[in-house]
Structure 1
């Protein structure tokens, strides 16, 4: 009995320890964090986290900064800036831009929610309305530009990380705004150099004609030199650290220039600190530990439920058909790993034809499903010509569905609880898992059957082709590698090229960054699939757990592009 409950207990402890560490870091020095909703424009609702430093009040208002995340991210993605600014004495409003997180509307509407967010920030009694800054990463420049255009004198300075003042035009927002006292942080290995500044490499941004025009320069912009006049609001400064686009909001080199600029341009922070003195990474360590705890908790929940009387008939040892790792086994391993990675870029492009629509409103999710379902079809076709021993699976559909739902429900409850208590979720860098609100739950229910179809095929093929008699715990490693190794190789090729030449081997910046998440997620899928198969001789429970988990993950963190109230924003449309 004690052994049965051990993974469950370990999962709970990891979640509690990791979440408490994350909470402790983001409230360091007496900072409070509040989850808020406030009215947006045209009937929308916006979501944000408000970080308030100790001592900030109506009697002693503090300087404040509005921070905005990038495309298909959420407010938590800017926690490094929020934590570092708040513990120095700035009030921070970390917003979900429109169509992201818990903010309604769709991507780009109402200038990304920027004007309404700035109004809300200025309405807070603890905010010094004469000392407000704006910061945005990537598409997060959209709400910054929109806020600045709506209230040109309502802020004192701005920071764009991996972005451009023209970013709003991508989704029909403000085409360009002459931002006050602007610091631009653009990575020397930024994957979007061509899109943002029309230069081949991030390290060449100083030579961008658009950047030179913004700085009023007739020669390459000198990094670190302040152009213009701080007092007049015309100051400009460039920072070009040797980091990639996703590292601009996840590195000391990316965060420090923003902290430094706001300490220079805004007055009244209560606790000035050196810009490189940063603690935010420990919050990310905490939420990573909690994420790992979630996986262990779900496995432990499955094991505990399997001993329950009604579900105990599911329990039986796996009976794979293969005797050993012969050439056929290794070929199956290579194909399992390689095909999803090889098809990723072309199928994501094809997936753009799965336009957002009622029931399926998330364009990136639609593209991922085209990739997934096409790979399911390829797997079935390969299975027709790939002569492998046929295992005898056990299938109990109703009980498998029941145990899968209960397993994921327990994991979901753990996240909902720590979010309620401490305003933290489970994440690390580009990996992030959030609770679902009612709207996103309806999206998840629509997408779930499609993800289920994919995982039923994928996990059945995994066990049929790679299951081996007498296999020990090494089965977990081989399954995880079979699922994610292709993406490890693909990303290694992309980033080896980027670090060596300054450009990606294949010009797929957005999908390359999306692909980073596939490495841990697919490894987790492999572990869940093996854990459940070894205890049930069935691919069905694992497939259903993975479908529920991945649907939840993707829908909660991906942008919405369609709603009944708004037209689909298409770049270039008048």
Structure 2
């Protein structure tokens, strides 16, 4: 590494640290409302006997003499408590006491026993019991809200609250999940009683808000939800809609006397997808309006007065800083005695490709992209793969990382086959030297490379843990999150790591040892193309899914919505992984360093943002 390169790398390393620090400080200032809201990372043994994890937001003005309304908020399946940041930031700004939970099996809460999802309301009702006992909370004004399966947890909690000697829940807001419409006999019912209850409904919801015939076939798409008997019964407080005298509309608050108390019902129908509701300012606006109407905001603000977006921008900066750190810190370690043996004095020059070489290059890219599409679709339709993904098969580690890891490994093996064929039919005849391009680096350099990747991984997550300890924030944008985690997640990660190693090592070798050259005289054009094609398969699937959804009102037949949602972070991760791989290779001529590093980081991200079930 030349002195100039060292100075340049020192700048990027310093920038990455500054981005992560500024991200954490700034995000903390937003979620604490400039220091006027205390944030506590809570762990406690709940009434169900399991340990729960949550973030408690306590405005400075609250006291036993001035108790405030409180709201328990929950993420959806395969997520964690920080996924509700838009809601808890805005609710805390308005003076509510807020508890953002990790449902059982998620984040830092205890694993979820299979078949026991309703226990403790999947954790939500256990959290309600805790918050009701806080001396600065008004127990008569407690609300619950959750997104997707967090809304299902709210439904579970209402059922438990109905059985309680002293009910605790005063209002319920369900986001992107159906209310309970009928009783065990199939008759329309009102399980919510006199509680204020609202629904935020995505018109392009991948899972909910359909009506079905006796055979289970969908009769209406979610964008027609308001016309269904289910929606009309909910807005008529459980009345059979055939007996109703009016048709009720979205966005209108309806009130009725129920058991001697005024209750309200409302449905907001929004032209967006299921996962978008977690990052929708419109949805957040309806949420704060609902609880202001139901519980009374101690510090009322207009629905459009929102600044959670600033936290999202800041945590995105942290995510970018984390990615830069992976490259810059790895490069910095090359200047140390321990890892000097990995460093090369000058990177191998990237030369212009030949016409025949370009045919192999473009042909390989197209084949791998098509294969990634077909293999993912076929895997999504395989019953055994679905059983793994959705947790009905016990593989110890979380199911979704297994599913994505299997897909990754299949593509890694396919990539290896393509590289072997390319070498035998083209590379060897063209004089390709496997040692010179790093495919055969020697055992010492290989081992040092693995140690270097491990050191960078530990250092990167060490920073995440330190900043989480002081500022209670992570690095995230929407569905991509790098966060602190419980120690057992390391064991889960080691179980599925081999699957990701197969892919990312093969991918790094392909990108650097087989496909590195200049296009139009510039290497960065080649890098950009490889980053694009790394993600092209997932991009095509996502675009095809949502183009079909928006045109027809339904997702592609046989390709469930959850499978396209899982690809959202994959699109970004695969593109970034290609760039990280190339940057590290240029300084080491060793494709295995980035292969191990990318595999380790992606595995940890996947495992710590999923659902752990026990059997």
Q: CA deviation at 1:380?
A: 2.9
**SS of the counterpart of 1:35?**
strand
Higher Cα radius of gyration:
2
The residue that corresponds to 2:342 in the other structure is 314
- Structure 1 stretches of 4+ moved >6 Å: 319-322
- Stretch moving more, 130-139 or 304-313: 304-313
The residue that corresponds to 2:464 in the other structure is 415
Q: TM-score, normalised to structure 2's length?
A: 0.85
- 1:480 matched to 2:531? The reply is yes
**SS of the counterpart of 2:56?**
strand
Q: Which has the higher strand share?
A: 2
Q: Assess if the C-alpha contact under 8 Å between 1:142 and 1:167 holds in 2.
A: no
The residue that corresponds to 2:171 in the other structure is 157
- 1:502 matched to 2:553? The reply is yes
- Stretch moving more, 463-472 or 515-524: 463-472
- 1:278 matched to 2:306? The reply is yes
Alpha-carbon distance in structure 1 between the residues aligned to 2:159 and 2:451: 52
- 1:232 matched to 2:269? The reply is no
The residue that corresponds to 1:192 in the other structure is 207
For structure 1, which runs of at least 5 residues remain unmatched after alignment? 170-174, 568-574
Q: CA deviation at 1:497?
A: 2.5
Q: CA deviation at 1:480?
A: 1.4
Alpha-carbon distance in structure 1 between the residues aligned to 2:182 and 2:570: 29
Q: Assess if the C-alpha contact under 8 Å between 2:501 and 2:595 holds in 1.
A: yes
The residue that corresponds to 1:28 in the other structure is 33
Alpha-carbon distance in structure 2 between the residues aligned to 1:391 and 1:240: 61
Alignment equivalent of 2:24, drawn from 19, 22, 37: 19
The residue that corresponds to 2:112 in the other structure is 106
Q: Assess if the C-alpha contact under 8 Å between 2:27 and 2:314 holds in 1.
A: yes
Q: Assess if the C-alpha contact under 8 Å between 2:94 and 2:299 holds in 1.
A: yes
Alignment equivalent of 2:450, drawn from 377, 380, 401: 401
| Alignment deviations for residues 474-533 of structure 1 (CA, whole Å, 9 cap, x no partner) | 343123112112222221222223333333345421111111111111111111111111
Q: Assess if the C-alpha contact under 8 Å between 2:118 and 2:153 holds in 1.
A: no
Alpha-carbon distance in structure 2 between the residues aligned to 1:412 and 1:376: 26
The residue that corresponds to 1:555 in the other structure is 607
The residue that corresponds to 2:3 in the other structure is none
Alignment equivalent of 1:118, drawn from 105, 128, 135: 128
Q: Structure 1 pair 326/54, CA: closer, same or farther in 2 (3 Å)?
A: same
Alignment equivalent of 1:53, drawn from 42, 59, 72: 59
Q: CA deviation at 1:304?
A: 0.4
Q: Structure 1 pair 168/31, CA: closer, same or farther in 2 (3 Å)?
A: farther
The residue that corresponds to 2:235 in the other structure is 215
Q: Structure 1 pair 178/270, CA: closer, same or farther in 2 (3 Å)?
A: closer
Q: Structure 1 pair 251/313, CA: closer, same or farther in 2 (3 Å)?
A: same
- Stretch moving more, 253-262 or 201-210: 201-210
- Stretch moving more, 217-226 or 395-404: 217-226
Alignment equivalent of 2:511, drawn from 449, 462, 471: 462
For structure 2, which runs of at least 5 residues remain unmatched after alignment? 1-5, 184-188, 213-217
Alpha-carbon distance in structure 2 between the residues aligned to 1:200 and 1:371: 33
Q: Assess if the C-alpha contact under 8 Å between 2:210 and 2:221 holds in 1.
A: no
The residue that corresponds to 1:450 in the other structure is 499
- Stretch moving more, 315-324 or 37-46: 315-324
| Alignment deviations for residues 149-172 of structure 1 (CA, whole Å, 9 cap, x no partner) | 222321211100101234999xxx
Q: Structure 1 pair 196/22, CA: closer, same or farther in 2 (3 Å)?
A: farther
The residue correspondences of 1:139-150 to structure 2 (distance < 5 A) are 139-150=149-160
Q: Structure 1 pair 367/540, CA: closer, same or farther in 2 (3 Å)?
A: same
Q: Structure 1 pair 496/277, CA: closer, same or farther in 2 (3 Å)?
A: same
Q: CA deviation at 1:345?
A: 2.9
The residue that corresponds to 2:364 in the other structure is 332
Q: CA deviation at 1:123?
A: 1.7
Q: CA deviation at 1:81?
A: 0.8
Q: TM-score, normalised to structure 1's length?
A: 0.91
- Stretch moving more, 208-217 or 118-127: 208-217
Matched residue pairs, number? 557
Q: Assess if the C-alpha contact under 8 Å between 1:146 and 1:168 holds in 2.
A: no
CA RMSD across the alignment: 2.5
| Alignment deviations for residues 61-83 of structure 1 (CA, whole Å, 9 cap, x no partner) | 11011111111010111111111
- 1:250 matched to 2:279? The reply is yes
Q: Structure 1 pair 349/123, CA: closer, same or farther in 2 (3 Å)?
A: farther
- Stretch moving more, 213-222 or 2-11: 213-222
Q: CA deviation at 1:144?
A: 1.0
Alignment equivalent of 1:517, drawn from 560, 569, 572: 569
Q: Assess if the C-alpha contact under 8 Å between 2:146 and 2:174 holds in 1.
A: yes
